[in-house]
Amino acid sequence: MALLADGVSALFIDGKFSEGSAGTFPTANPATEEVLGVAADADAQDMGRAIDAARRAFDDTDWSRNTELRVRCIRQLREAMQQHTEELRELTISEVGAPRMLTSMAQLEGPVNDLAFAADTAESYVWNQDLGQAAPMGIPTRRTIAREAVGVVGAITPWNFPHQINLAKLGPALAAGNTIVLKPAPDTPWCAAVLGELIAEHTDIPPGVVNIVTSSDHSVGALLAKDPRVDMISFTGSTATGRSVMSDAAATIKKVFLELGGKSAFVVLDDADLAGACAMAGFTASMHAGQGCAITTRLVVPRAHYDDAVAAAAGTMAGIKPGDPNDPGTVCGPVISARQRDRVQGYLDSAIAEGGTFACGGGRPAGRDVGYFIEPTVIAGLGNDARVAREEIFGPVLTVIAHDGDEDALRIANDSPYGLSGTVFSADADRAARFASRMRVGTVNVNGGVWYSADAPFGGYKQSGNGREMGLAGFEEYLEIKTIATSAS
């Protein structure tokens, strides 16, 4: 892809590529610490241009009303990304540190294929619903419910699964008829910038409909929430930043979708296959170095079998060695940056300070002095009040907590400011289903089921966010509802 061939990416505003007014900033390979190249560094003026372009494209073109065009464009983008899969795969491994095996799933191929769901939904969606004739207040009236695009969407995305999250916003937002300004995380600017090139060269998306603004300055993204020209914010990231987004958006009462943090529980009931379930918990916590908001990082197990559970989880995690994400067998690559590695280490240090122990791991792996690697780590000996059990770590860290029966396990699972995801294992399917129904979370894995799918809504309760992404519910987040009453007399 030409824009990245020389190690430089540009802003994509109003259908044109441009330099950033603040110069450039580097993007690096987290496995090697080598600088891959630079990205255009936008300032407030650049963001203003992007918002203005999106506003004009929504107000002055028929994009929001031309469903056939939108469906065609989304399918063109999907096809273009599929044609460039191998180049995108190498980019994702290098910039994100994503294990190669995951690029055939949620790190790349999965979300690209999922664009089909957005296009198909728009094509078959009932945009206008006839409520028939009535006589409210004695006046003969025909009523219609119309569903329309919200307008200009500001999308702010994180670095952990950039393609999945960028496309989970772009796909349905565009399919619903909105225009968009995408502000990706500074850690993974190229994964977003490459979309501009593919859109410009391979789709009929009109100028201004999609704008991509990379910047090293987080305050540039915050302008999207503050600007009255933006009708909606779709944000994925930390709960702390989500609070700021919600606060900034309040000034203009704009619509806000938030997908935030998690501290999800993996609950093993006393009749389950303890070793098998705990091994799965350890594998899950290690995948992509634990950098997933819905990853289950609290393993809640029967007290009578606590030591066996710790041993089973540690046996799995000790065998997962942090490695080169280019290696097809790597499960746990690096964390994204030195800053994130130090943050994870701070949590590990706090576990020891609170009286916990490491059943495996606990720091940087031996022989990995280069790259931002952390050993998969099992923490034992702490309760649900420990810092590592309360706060999102975003590293390959699993805290094992004892429970005294189903009610206690449920109390522990729900005793969290978050409510994003959860898992329950039991030999009794009905018992597991009853337990899952009482978990205060947005997604639940029961006995190994998989909830991730383009047609399944994703989101959380409590401080894990507002609204849903993906599925029909995710598509409808980007719509407004209008009631039209026409005199029938």
Which residues are annotated as catalytic? 259
The Cα–Cα gap between 374 and 362 comes to 8
Residue 18, SS3 per DSSP = strand
Yes or no: say if 277 and 307 are a contact pair by the CB < 8 Å rule: no
DSSP 420: S
Nearest to 428 by CA among 233, 244, 218, 270: 270
Residue at token pair 């598509």: 475
The token duo for 130 is: 């006839």
Angle at the Cα of 130 from the Cα atoms of 129 and 132, rounded to 5 degrees: 155
Which whole-number Å values give the CA distances from 91 to 95, 165, 182, 343, in the listed order?
Answer: 6, 16, 19, 25
The Cα–Cα gap between 308 and 489 comes to 77
For residue 132, the one-letter residue type is: G
The residues, any chain, with a CB within 8 Å of residue 369's CB and separated by 6 or more, are none
Nearest to 170 by CA among 74, 66, 106, 76: 74
The Cα–Cα gap between 158 and 440 comes to 25
Yes or no: say if 258 and 287 are a contact pair by the CB < 8 Å rule: no
For residue 148, the one-letter residue type is: E
